[in-house]
């Protein structure tokens, strides 16, 4: 095959002619809809860390892979800018919530630019287009009886912004430190009839084994659905939380995080765009459902695997329009989860400055299996950069170019000579390309890298 080096944001890649002929059957159709990929939107109460970087690079790598294979792609990412934690952080900083989130958002956009994460759509929950759709969705659910108001008394996690039940208590009967400050609270709020749809969700999970990747995560979801299902509180009184989207049918309340943040996956894909007068968005019917919504395992249950599909179901989305969830693990440090209190948070900006953006991207993809946890290692990132990228790929490329210039004036032509070494190389390449395609298509990114390295 003839090969051509093509410029790509942040480096070069080799495109091989006839590559598309070797694609898995499910990726060949020229009439196939665009590949729609999203990530979780990042909460703007603190700057990004290595976990944020991993998720966005993972999505960007898959988007590039799909484009290289001739697939049109719509890649959406963004920021979650509303909520009580943002309001409190802004007050502490002596700023308005709008000023505060704008400042934090710049940290995220600067990092994505630095790491060459090239998204097509940007989701910001303060965008007026998003607000209009969220209000229209809430009104639709209210009109069909899916929302109701009641008073509730219970224990409330200030950090997680939610009421807690006995299921969240530890073995000692206390709420764990992951919930932060827990206070007893009684207030009136609006609720979504989540419990009406739990049996549907159980059936959907069992009948759609590709709904969640990796598949074993589906058991976590089914286990969370055992017991008596409860309805979902979707509002906060405006006197307690003013930084949010007012409910269209009761403006004494603002929408709580779920219908605001989770809805970004459809609002910025063009859902209800005509009804809401939104412009500059894709045609919803041409790109939905999302082929992959990439999220961390900590927000799988209940947000993305329970609330989100049930929200869509209640809005009238058919089963084949429920998007696929790709669930990634955590980057730990010596087996411990990164946290500010432990002082072990890894700054991707520092790593990028040390190892270059491409060096960091490569390490993040090669050293973790998608869906599982991994330990960040200074030694391993140094090894991957020095031995594999510089000493392996860089050295091979440098020697090849120098020899081609020195002995062939930079022009290579076919020759008649052949031997066992040439035959073995051709066989290696012939086997590596389909193996690479298969692994990448199945989200085994580290195995796809290994297949490419065999060449």
CA distance 159 to 304: 19
Q: Determine contact, residues 148/232, Cβ cutoff 8 Å.
A: no
pLDDT band at 43 (very low <50, low <70, confident <90, very high): very high
Q: What is the pLDDT of residue 3?
A: 32
Helix (H) or strand (E) holding 56: helix 50-68
Rounded CA gap, 314 and 145, in Å?
10
* Alpha-carbon span 183 to 174, nearest angstrom: 12
The DSSP code for 175 is B
Distance of CA 176 to the CA centre of its chain: 27
Given a contact cutoff of 8 angstroms between Cβ atoms, the answer to whether 248 and 178 are in contact is: no
pLDDT score for 21: 52
pLDDT tens for residues 410-432?
999 988 999 999 999 999 999 99
pTM of the model: 0.90
Are 53 and 115 in contact by the 8 Å Cβ rule? The answer is: yes
In this prediction, residues 264-278 reach a mean pLDDT of 98
Give the model's confidence band at 359: pLDDT under 50 very low, under 70 low, under 90 confident, else very high.
Answer: very high
Can you spell out the DSSP letters for 60-81? HHHHHHHHHTT--EEEEEEEE-
338 band by pLDDT with thresholds 50, 70 and 90: confident
Query: By mean pLDDT, which of 14-28, 181-195, 356-370, 421-435 is the weakest?
Result: 14-28
Question: What number is the average pLDDT over the span 20-47?
Answer: 76
Q: In Å, how far are 159, 211, 263, 385, 387 from 163, measured between CA atoms?
A: 11, 28, 21, 46, 51
Retrieve residue 36's tokens: 């729609």
Q: List, for residues 152-210, the tens digit of each pLDDT value.
A: 899 988 777 778 888 889 889 899 888 888 999 899 999 999 999 999 999 999 999 99
Residues 6+ apart with CB under 8 A from 80: 41, 42, 43, 44, 125, 257, 260, 261, 264
Sign of CA dihedral 52, 58, 62, 63: positive
The answer to whether the beta carbons of residues 426 and 418 sit under 8 Å apart is no
Classified as helix, coil or strand, 265 is helix
Q: Which residue has the tokens 């989305």?
A: 317
What is the rounded distance in angstroms from the CA atom of residue 132 to the CA atom of residue 409? 62
Burial class (CB in 10 A: 0-12, 13-18, 19+), 33: middle
- Assess whether pLDDT exceeds 50 at residue 6: no
| Pairing verdict, β 35-39 and 73-80 | parallel
Q: Name the residue with higher pLDDT: 225 or 168.
A: 225
Whether the Cβ atoms of residue 302 and residue 163 lie closer than 8 Å to each other: no
Q: Give the pair of three-digit tokens for residue 30.
A: 């020229």
Spatial separation of the C-alpha atoms in residues 269 and 246, rounded to whole Å: 22
Average pLDDT over residues 42-57: 95
pLDDT at 141 over 50: yes
Distance of CA 4 to the CA centre of its chain: 31
Is residue 131 very low, low, confident or very high in pLDDT (cuts 50, 70, 90)? very high
Instruction: Give me the percent of the chain exceeding a pLDDT of 90.
Output: 81
Task: Flag whether pLDDT at 340 surpasses 60.
Answer: yes
Q: Identify any residues that bridge with 367 across adjacent strands, giving them in sequence order.
A: none
Indicate the pLDDT class of residue 280, thresholds 50, 70 and 90: very high
Phi, psi of 420 (to 5 degrees): -65, -35
Measured over the CA atoms of residue 303, residue 305, residue 310 and residue 316, the dihedral's sign is positive
In whole numbers, what is the pLDDT of the chain averaged over residues? 92
Question: Which alpha helices (DSSP H) does 115-216 contain, by range?
Answer: 128-143, 198-207
Residue range 445-455, pLDDT digits in tens: 999 999 999 99
| Residue 28 DSSP class | -
**DSSP secondary structure, 82-101, as one string:** -SHHHHHHHHHHTS-HHHHH
Residue 7 φ/ψ, nearest 5 degrees:
-65, 140
The residue among 240, 137, 142 whose CA lies nearest residue 193 is 142
Residue 56: CB atoms within 10 A of its CB come to 25
Q: How much is the pLDDT for 23?
A: 53
């Amino acid at each position: 095959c003839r090969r051509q080096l093509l410029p790509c944001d942040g480096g070069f890649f080799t495109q091989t002619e006839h590559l598309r002929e070797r694609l898995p059957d499910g990726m060949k159709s020229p009439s196939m809809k665009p590949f729609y990929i999203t990530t979780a939107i990042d909460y703007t109460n603190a700057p990004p860390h290595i976990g944020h970087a991993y998720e966005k690079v993972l999505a960007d790598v898959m988007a590039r892979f799909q484009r290289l294979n001739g697939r049109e792609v719509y890649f959406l990412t963004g920021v979650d800018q509303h909520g009580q934690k943002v309001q409190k952080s802004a007050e502490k900083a002596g700023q308005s919530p709008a000023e505060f989130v704008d400042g934090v958002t710049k940290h995220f956009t600067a990092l994505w630019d630095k790491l060459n994460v090239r998204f097509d759509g940007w989701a910001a929950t303060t965008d007026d287009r998003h607000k209009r759709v969220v209000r229209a969705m809430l009104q639709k659910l209210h009109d069909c009886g899916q929302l109701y108001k009641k008073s509730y008394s219970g224990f409330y996690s200030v950090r997680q912004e939610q009421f807690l039940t006995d299921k969240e208590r530890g073995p000692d009967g206390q709420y764990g430190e992951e919930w932060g400050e827990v206070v007893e609270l009684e207030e009136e709020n609006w609720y979504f009839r989540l419990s009406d749809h739990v049996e549907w969700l159980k059936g959907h999970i069992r009948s759609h084994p590709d709904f969640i990747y990796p598949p074993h995560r589906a058991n976590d979801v089914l286990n969370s659905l055992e017991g008596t299902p409860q309805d979902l509180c979707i509002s906060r009184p405006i006197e307690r939380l003013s930084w949010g989207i007012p409910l269209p049918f009761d403006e004494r309340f603002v929408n709580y995080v779920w219908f605001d943040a989770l809805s970004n996956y459809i609002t910025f894909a063009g859902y209800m765009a005509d009804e809401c007068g939104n412009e500059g968005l894709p045609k919803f019917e041409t790109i939905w459902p999302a082929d992959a919504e990439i999220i961390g395992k900590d927000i799988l249950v209940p947000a993305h695997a329970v609330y989100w599909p049930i929200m869509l179901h209640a809005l009238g989305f058919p089963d084949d329009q429920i998007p696929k969830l790709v669930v990634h693990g955590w980057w730990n440090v010596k087996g411990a989860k990164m946290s500010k209190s432990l002082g072990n948070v890894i700054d991707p900006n520092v790593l990028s400055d040390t190892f270059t953006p491409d060096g960091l991207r490569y390490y993040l993809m090669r050293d973790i299996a998608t869906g599982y946890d991994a330990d960040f290692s200074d030694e391993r990132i140094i090894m991957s950069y020095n031995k594999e990228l510089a000493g392996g790929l860089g050295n091979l490329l440098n020697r090849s170019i120098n020899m081609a210039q020195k002995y062939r004036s930079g022009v290579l032509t076919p020759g008649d000579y052949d031997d066992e070494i040439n035959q073995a190389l051709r066989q290696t390449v012939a086997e590596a390309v389909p193996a690479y395609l298969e692994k990448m298509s199945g989200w085994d990114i580290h195995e796809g890298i290994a297949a490419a390295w065999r060449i």
